[in-house]
Amino acid sequence: DAKTTQPNSMESNEEEPVHLPCNHSTISGTDYIHWYRQLPSQGPEYVIHGLTSNVNNRMASLAIAEDRKSSTLILHRATLRDAAVYYCILPSGSARQLTFGSGTQLTVLP
Amino acid sequence: EAQVTQNPRYLITVTGKKLTVTCSQNMNHEYMSWYRQDPGLGLRQIYYSMNVEVTDKGDVPEGYKVSRKEKRNFPLILESPSPNQTSLYFCASRGLRNEQFFGPGTRLTVL
């Protein structure tokens, strides 16, 4: 199963863009890249996912490198409510299970 | 409102006293799963179910049972809880685009 590597922590100022990186150098051609986040005292929350092309939704954008060995989750204007642990995951196994790593703790400074 | 619900949200019990944590989803999802979250170990999958009457072990199934008699419900059963099962438990269901929806969590303490 392909693994992901993320920085342990990042800081951002409120109302500025945030770029959260993820390396997945052993990704296979059929692996989707999923991002989830977990706010304090809550369950994980789906953010976005993609395969090859960049993706946008109301929460974030996902930029995928051309060789697919890395991706970046982009929050266009961070708010205090975006402070959370962000997980980059490649669903794997016959049932496409999620395996959570340690993620990136994002701190948003007012 | 589309959601995954869990009950109870908090539970304190004693070793050996059987308990069930319920999970229900109203999105008609086929796939459901249970996770536990522990400090330093992150979220780990306990069991999952691909559909009614189809369940399989995740990464940490020991000490747990599940059942899937109807699509909306996926209870987690601890026949004889032990202190090492003290944890935060999350139920999830998966939509057609493979996005998972998580419940609010159940904090279990086994004394």
Check CB contact of A43 with chain B, cutoff 8 Å.
yes
Indicate the pairing of strand B31-38 with strand B42-51.
Answer: antiparallel
Given this model, what pLDDT does residue B10 score? Answer: 98
Which residue type sits at A94? Answer: S
What number is the average pLDDT over the span A61-80?
Answer: 96
Check CB contact of A77 with chain B, cutoff 8 Å.
no
| Pairwise CB contact (< 8 Å): B42 & A34 | no
**SS3 category, A81:** helix
Beta bridge partners of A98: none
The pair of structure tokens assigned to A82 is: 């975006």
Check CB contact of A46 with chain B, cutoff 8 Å.
yes
Check CB contact of B45 with chain A, cutoff 8 Å.
yes
In chain A, the DSSP E strands lie at 9-13, 18-23, 33-38, 45-50, 55-56, 61-64, 70-75, 84-89, 104-109
Given this model, what pLDDT does residue B30 score? Answer: 95
What number is the average pLDDT over the span A39-57?
Answer: 94
**SS3 category, A48:** strand
Query: Over 80: is that where the pLDDT of A35 sits?
Result: yes
Higher pLDDT, A29 or B107: B107
Residue among A34, A97, A101 minimizing CB distance to B45: A97
- The answer to whether A6 and A71 have CB atoms below 8 angstroms apart is no
Residue among B31, B48, B104 minimizing CB distance to A43: B104
Nearest to A24 by CA among A61, A79, A78, A68: A68
Which residue type sits at B55? Answer: T
**SS3 category, B42:** strand
Residue among A36, A41, A95 minimizing CB distance to B48: A95
A to B CB pairs, distance under 8 Å? 47
Query: Which residues in A lie closer than 8 A to residue B41 (C-beta atoms)?
Result: none
Given this model, what pLDDT does residue A1 score? Answer: 66
Tally of CA atoms within 13 A in the half-sphere of B99 that contains its CB: 13
Given this model, what pLDDT does residue A30 score? Answer: 86
Q: Band the pLDDT of A95: cuts 50, 70, 90.
A: confident
In whole angstroms, how far apart are CA B33 and each of B30, B41, B101? 10, 18, 10
In whole angstroms, how far apart are CA A94 and each of A1, A74, A98, B30, B81? 11, 29, 11, 15, 30
What number is the average pLDDT over the span A75-87?
Answer: 96
Please give chain B's pLDDT, 111 residues, in tens: 889 999 999 999 999 999 999 999 999 999 999 999 999 888 999 999 999 999 999 999 999 999 999 999 999 999 999 999 999 999 999 998 889 999 999 999 999
Which residue type sits at B8? Answer: P
CA dihedral B29, A30, A32, A65 (to 10 degrees): -160
Q: What is the CA radius of gyration of chain A?
A: 13
Given this model, what pLDDT does residue B1 score? Answer: 86
Given this model, what pLDDT does residue A65 score? Answer: 95
What number is the average pLDDT over the span A18-44?
Answer: 93
What number is the average pLDDT over the span A77-82?
Answer: 96
Check CB contact of A21 with chain B, cutoff 8 Å.
no
Return the sign of the alpha-carbon dihedral for residues B108, B36, B76, B80. negative
Query: Over 90: is that where the pLDDT of A97 sits?
Result: no
